[in-house]
Amino acid sequence: MDERTSPGQKDFTIGTEGVSLYYGAFRALRDVTLEIQPRSITAIIGPSGCGKSTLLRLFNRMNDLIPGVRVEGKVLVDGASVYDRDTDVVALRKRVGMVFQKPNLFPSSVRDNLVVGPRQHGLKNEAQLSEIVERSLRQVALWDEVKDQLKRPAQSLSVGQQQRLCIARTLTVEPEVILMDESCSALDPESTLRIEELMHDLARTYTILTVTHNMEQAARVSDMSAFLMMDEDRAGTLVEYAPTGEIFSNPKDKRTEAYITGRFG
């Protein structure tokens, strides 16, 4: 286990403290406390409906879009509580980028997709924007494939390329945290492995949280794994959170063992 994956090495700056989330009267998450290791990959795993995506969406307040949502407890990003009343949600989403299950590019060119974020945050200088385009495409290993076709419609790229472009678009505004919600589930095996390679590279700089149904992928790609499941009231609770090597070779909780070995879920 290398240093960046050892718990307790750094101050706790990203994570949750006693978080419960309600959709109206229904409690979707119960008392989740999770200390995320900066600059590492944390996988959130668990059966369908256990609140994985809900937990992920706490970090950039994407749950706000759902009517009747209420959050108790603390969600911290870079030490700041994101549900404080004075939180600038636009600034938060700049710091906490998100990549979804399917590529969600704008119906415009490769370049336009990449400059939209920085422009929205006030950058007008075309030379600087071009630099950002090149840098972000290089970061996702897409530059060599599209450098001569930056005006090409983004949606004409292969799905795997589109998903890497989505990651590049996230990087254009220099986030600290990247949330990935089933970001490989629509991809073929080769594209999936390319994204996994990319995640490892990005985790040197960024903190990555990923939700996946793909147990093998969680095992391969992450440093830490958080296993969630529903309690008797169908609220998602954190059962076990540990280095991925431990979770997948010798989980402490019998429920984790049962889930990862396919005995329930």
Partner 1 sequence: MEYRTVFHKKLQEIQDDVTRMGGLVGDAIQSSVDALTGQDLDLANRIVEGDKRINQLRFDIEEKCVQLIATQQPIASDLRNLVAVLNIITEMERIGDYAVGIGKITVMIGHEPPLKPLVDIPRMAVQTVDMLRRSLDAFIAGDADSAQRITLEDDIVDDLYEKVFKELLGIMMKDGETVTRATRLIWVAHDLERSADRVTNICERVVFVVTGKMEEI
Determine if 102 is a binding residue for partner 1 (CB under 8 A): no
How buried is residue 220: exposed, middle or buried, by Cβ count under 10 Å (0-12/13-18/19+)?
middle
Helices (H), 103-188: 110-120, 126-139, 143-146, 159-171
Q: Are 204 and 179 in contact (CB under 8 A)?
A: no
**Shorter beta-carbon distance to partner 1: residue 62 or 219:** 219
Smallest CA-to-CA distance from 183 within 198, 172, 201, 204 is with: 198
Which residue, 109 or 210, is less far from partner 1 as judged by CB?
210
Binding residue (CB under 8 A) for partner 1 from 138, 200, 213, 255: 200
* Contact positions with partner 1 (CB under 8 A) in 174-193: 190, 193
Q: Write out the binding residues for partner 1, residues 222-241 only, by CB under 8 A.
A: none
Q: How far apart are CA 240 and CA 166, in angstroms?
A: 31
User: Which C-beta is closer to partner 1: that of 74 or that of 255?
Assistant: 255
- Give the single-character DSSP code of 219: H
Among 120, 125, 149, 249, binds partner 1 (CB under 8 A): 249
Smallest Cα–Cα separation from 235: which of 17, 14, 16, 23?
23
Rounded-to-integer distance, Cα 41 and Cα 19, Å: 21
- The single residue among 64, 188, 197, 231 that binds partner 1, judged by CB under 8 A, is 197
Residue choice 84, 86, 216, 233 for contact with partner 1 (CB under 8 A): 216
Q: Which stretch binds partner 1 (CB under 8 A): 71-79, 129-137, 153-161, 213-221?
A: 213-221
CA-to-CA distance for 204 and 113, rounded, in angstroms? Answer: 25
Does residue 33 interact with partner 1 by CB under 8 A? Answer: no
Q: Identify the residue among 32, 105, 219, 239 touching partner 1 (CB under 8 A).
A: 219
Interaction between residue 246 and partner 1 (CB under 8 A): yes
Q: Among residues 30, 95, 169, 194, which is the contact residue for partner 1, using CB under 8 A?
A: 194
Contact partners, residue 184, CB within 8 Å, separation at least 6: 163, 191, 192, 195, 196, 212, 214, 217
Footprint on this chain of partner 1 (rule: CB under 8 A): 190, 193-194, 196-197, 200, 216, 219-220, 244-246, 248-249
